[in-house]
């Protein structure tokens, strides 16, 4: 049985994760609150799941590297510096870092890359629309950014090189060819909705995923924690966990 600890166990996701750890037959080693030192949790766990805040990710990744523990990281909104700190820690610890742990979302990401490879940016504009609950503080969502990166990979480039268009307002001029557009909607208690649209002059192709229950994220994270046990240091994704290649 995998010994799993949960950072932020008292939160909404933390409670769901605790339930899924038990449902998977794993051992829950405890959790941390906002004021707790996470070191003790890492010391008694084989893998720690972290869905807390972006600013906590470097600290948790550093502890995983120091103590040789696994880390499943699902926090969104990490800066480039925070992502670099996680990647550095992954040289000494196995870390699964994903924008979204729902199985369906990761299948959509895989399909997005394949579609982008077949639909050139000179002919098909890529637009990503996402909607979340009114309390979400970062935009676009981590999953939307992951979709943009998947499109860019499929086209043999990066999101930064392709260029992002978001927050359009007023006289913005014509849409840039090959850029990737983002629109973020916020309202109510929407768990998460993402649509990737490829728009050409003669046809539109859309991929949509809707989450109705946060438990899908918790189930995927616990699956990732079980998969991560015993793995060598490295920065892994849900593609690795699901065997998508």
- The Cα 21–Cα 28 span in angstroms is 6
| Active-site annotation holds for 209 | no
Enumerate the β-bridge partners of residue 28.
Answer: 4
8 A C-beta contact, residue 102 and residue 143 = no
3-state secondary structure of 169: coil
Distance linking the first and last C-alpha atoms of the chain: 26
Catalytic member of 136, 194, 209, 229: 136
- The Cα 184–Cα 165 span in angstroms is 12
Tokens of 67: 């103590």
- The Cα 57–Cα 54 span in angstroms is 5
Catalytic member of 132, 133, 194, 204: 132
- The Cα 23–Cα 15 span in angstroms is 13
Least Cα distance to 13 among 213, 227, 242 occurs for 213
Write down the residue that tokens 């030192």 correspond to.
Answer: 37
| Active-site annotation holds for 133 | no
- The Cα 132–Cα 122 span in angstroms is 30
Q: Are strands 70-73 and 94-97 parallel, antiparallel or unpaired?
A: parallel
Which residues belong to the active site?
Answer: 132, 136
């Amino acid at each position: 049985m995998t010994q799993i600890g949960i950072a932020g166990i008292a939160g909404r996701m933390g409670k769901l994760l605790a339930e899924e750890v038990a449902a998977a037959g794993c051992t829950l080693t405890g959790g941390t609150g906002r004021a707790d030192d996470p070191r003790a949790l890492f010391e008694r766990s084989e893998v720690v799941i972290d869905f807390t805040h972006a600013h906590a990710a470097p600290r948790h990744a550093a502890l995983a590297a120091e103590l040789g523990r696994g880390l499943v990281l699902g926090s969104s909104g990490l800066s480039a510096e925070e992502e670099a700190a996680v990647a550095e820690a992954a040289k000494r610890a196995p870390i699964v870092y994903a924008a979204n742990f729902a199985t369906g979302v990761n299948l959509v990401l895989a399909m997005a890359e394949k579609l982008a490879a077949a639909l050139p940016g000179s002919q098909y504009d890529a637009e990503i629309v996402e909607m979340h609950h009114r309390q979400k503080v970062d935009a676009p969502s981590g999953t939307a950014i992951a979709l943009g990166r998947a499109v860019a990979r499929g086209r043999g480039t990066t999101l930064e090189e392709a260029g992002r268009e978001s927050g359009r307002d007023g006289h913005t001029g014509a849409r840039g060819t090959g850029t990737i557009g983002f629109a973020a909607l916020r309202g109510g208690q929407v768990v998460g909705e993402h649509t990737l649209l490829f728009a050409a002059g003669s046809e539109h192709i859309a991929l949509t995923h809707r989450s109705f229950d946060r438990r899908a994220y918790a189930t995927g994270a616990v699956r990732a924690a079980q998969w991560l046990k015993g793995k060598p240091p490295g920065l892994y994704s849900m593609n690795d966990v699901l065997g998508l290649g």
